[in-house]
Amino acid sequence: MTQESQHPQVADLVRTDKVHSSVFTDERIFHLELERIFYSTWVYVAHESEVPTPGDYVTKWIGLQPVIVSRDKDGELHVLLNRCRHRANMVCSMPSGNALSFRCAYHGWTYKNDGSLLGVPYPSRYGPGFDKSELGLSRVPRVALRHGFLFASMAETGPSLEEHLGGADEIIKDFADSAPNGQIQLTGGHHAGEYGGNWKFVGMDGYHVNFTHKTLNDLAQRKAPPGTVMGALNSDRSPHVSIDFGNGHCQLAFQAPGEGETDQLTSAYRGSGGETEADAEYRRLLEARYGEVRARRLLLTARDPHLHVWPNLQLIAGQVRVIRPLSASRTEVVSYPALLGGAPEEYNRQRLRATEWFHGPAGLGQPDDYEIFERNTIGLKAELQPWLFIGRGLGLETVNEAGHIIGQVTDEVPQRAHMKAWRARMVDCASDTESTVAPVDADGGRS
């Protein structure tokens, strides 16, 4: 870490198996991250089910910038900066609603829900050069919808969303397909929580479960048949894997469970094991639509795809989780239970209850995760040895035919995936392709 007045030398802060503390604590780095990650690559903004009919809108964020996601009268989606072109007042202050236009409360400038400027009060005092067509709400340069998920990029040019998503795209499709009618619905409310820590703490971590969430294992152990070893699936003996898809996208893949393991997963999130009647009805709907093999994959995906779409989206335990950075040491996380369109009502009700078991501010898991994040923030201030070690499983990975790096589930494959993508964006923000899955050598260069 240099003491230069400009920017720290970010290239020096991430090595193959190490990350420097300042990556998580330095406000200058945080502002560079906004510029080079949140305002240049593709970020998740909203789900189409939040704005189903013409006129619907929701207000969201890209990094620190407020945006409006609206659906115009022709059904077209827009991502507009929530800032009046006159004197910068926020033009929409409601979290969601239905409106044909947005009127700035400050001086009454009024915009159509596609962003164009409809009119301004007392226009006679503006001169002949005043051109309304130039003064619409600012439009995020690139917007793309994929399997119902709306992404936006502040960069005028760059890789397409499909290129950016790469191998993660298939998992997102599976998650959408796990709704019997092909449409997941983010209409079941949400949990919004905050913690005092860096946004990058919300990762994919197969190593922490038996320690951070020890009490959940202990609780389940009380109800388990004798001889059951809770937590075996989260140990170095687990058959589950961690996957680096490139561009920071990664997954803990639970798709190859052995006998009885599916029930254990169900149990972990629901507090009771076994297939309920609603589960069975849902399974039959999937089997009828997709056949048994794909249905089996979708059942697991519906329950927990455990996918991180870098930088700010996770599909986790039946939820869509959105990470919103607030500062180097403060983060908001909003989680929406994904209800499955066409599934039995009772099944979706059970999904809500399953969410509340582990997640939310009074869940059995989330409070301990956030506590760990806050302890991390404090620990990071002890800087005598400023490097964090993320080398677990390094050199033991395999690479599959698609070029994805595969490790054991407790390996730090996801941590390395994130930091490789982070380094690629921060050092050379010109191109997503810099962040390929090619391993980096000991000096952090491409091998």
Partner 1 sequence: MTSLLTQVEQFLYREARLADAHEIESWLELWVPDEGSTYWVAGPGHGGPDVSVAIVYDAFPRLKERLTRLTMPGAHAQEPRSSLCRVVSNVEVVAEEADEVSVASVFALHDVRRSERLHVGRCEHRLRRSADGFAIRSKNVFLNNRDAMLPTLAFIL
Cα–Cα nearest to 173, from 144, 141, 149, 190: 149
CA–CA distance, 42 with 432 (Å, rounded to integer): 10
Query: Which residue's structure tokens are 């409106």?
Result: 99
Rank residues 304 and 432 by Cβ distance to partner 1 and give the closer one: 304
CA–CA distance, 389 with 412 (Å, rounded to integer): 9
Rank residues 321 and 418 by Cβ distance to partner 1 and give the closer one: 321
Segment (H or E) for 122: none
Rank residues 59 and 355 by Cβ distance to partner 1 and give the closer one: 355
Residue 112, strand partner residues: 101
Supply the minimum distance, in Å, between the C-beta of residue 192 and partner 1. Answer: 5
Rank residues 121 and 361 by Cβ distance to partner 1 and give the closer one: 361
Supply the minimum distance, in Å, between the C-beta of residue 213 and partner 1. Answer: 8
- DSSP output for 385-407: S-EEE--TTTT--EE-TTS-EEE
Rank residues 212 and 276 by Cβ distance to partner 1 and give the closer one: 212
Mapped onto helix, strand or coil, the DSSP state of residue 359 is coil
Rank residues 12 and 218 by Cβ distance to partner 1 and give the closer one: 218
Strands 77-81 and 65-71: antiparallel
Rank residues 337 and 407 by Cβ distance to partner 1 and give the closer one: 337
Cα–Cα nearest to 300, from 366, 247, 240: 240
Strands 241-246 and 387-389: unpaired
Rank residues 230 and 424 by Cβ distance to partner 1 and give the closer one: 230
Supply the minimum distance, in Å, between the C-beta of residue 66 and partner 1. Answer: 15
CA–CA distance, 372 with 423 (Å, rounded to integer): 24
Give Cα 339 distance to the centre of its chain: 17
CA–CA distance, 312 with 324 (Å, rounded to integer): 7
Supply the minimum distance, in Å, between the C-beta of residue 339 and partner 1. Answer: 9
Supply the minimum distance, in Å, between the C-beta of residue 363 and partner 1. Answer: 8
Supply the minimum distance, in Å, between the C-beta of residue 183 and partner 1. Answer: 17
Strands 339-340 and 191-195: unpaired
CA–CA distance, 34 with 297 (Å, rounded to integer): 36
Rank residues 217 and 251 by Cβ distance to partner 1 and give the closer one: 217
Give residues with Cβ within 8 angstroms of 348, minimum separation 6: 188, 339, 340
Supply the minimum distance, in Å, between the C-beta of residue 75 and partner 1. Answer: 25
Supply the minimum distance, in Å, between the C-beta of residue 412 and partner 1. Answer: 21
Supply the minimum distance, in Å, between the C-beta of residue 375 and partner 1. Answer: 8
Tell me the longest C-alpha to C-alpha distance in the chain.
84
Rank residues 234 and 435 by Cβ distance to partner 1 and give the closer one: 234
Supply the minimum distance, in Å, between the C-beta of residue 336 and partner 1. Answer: 8
Rank residues 93 and 215 by Cβ distance to partner 1 and give the closer one: 215
CA–CA distance, 126 with 177 (Å, rounded to integer): 53
Positions in the binding site for partner 1 (CB under 8 A):
95, 187-196, 212, 214-216, 218-219, 271, 332, 337, 349, 352-353, 355-357, 360-362, 364, 366-368, 370-372, 374-375
Give residues with Cβ within 8 angstroms of 130, minimum separation 6: 123
Rank residues 182 and 271 by Cβ distance to partner 1 and give the closer one: 271
Supply the minimum distance, in Å, between the C-beta of residue 374 and partner 1. Answer: 7
Question: 380 with 24: CB under 8 angstroms?
Answer: yes
> What's phi and psi for 58, nearest 5 deg?
-135, 150
Q: Phi/psi class of residue 182: alpha, beta or left (left: φ > 0; alpha: ψ in -120 to 50)?
A: left
CA–CA distance, 153 with 81 (Å, rounded to integer): 12
Give Cα 353 distance to the centre of its chain: 22
Supply the minimum distance, in Å, between the C-beta of residue 122 and partner 1. Answer: 37
Residue 153, strand partner residues: 142
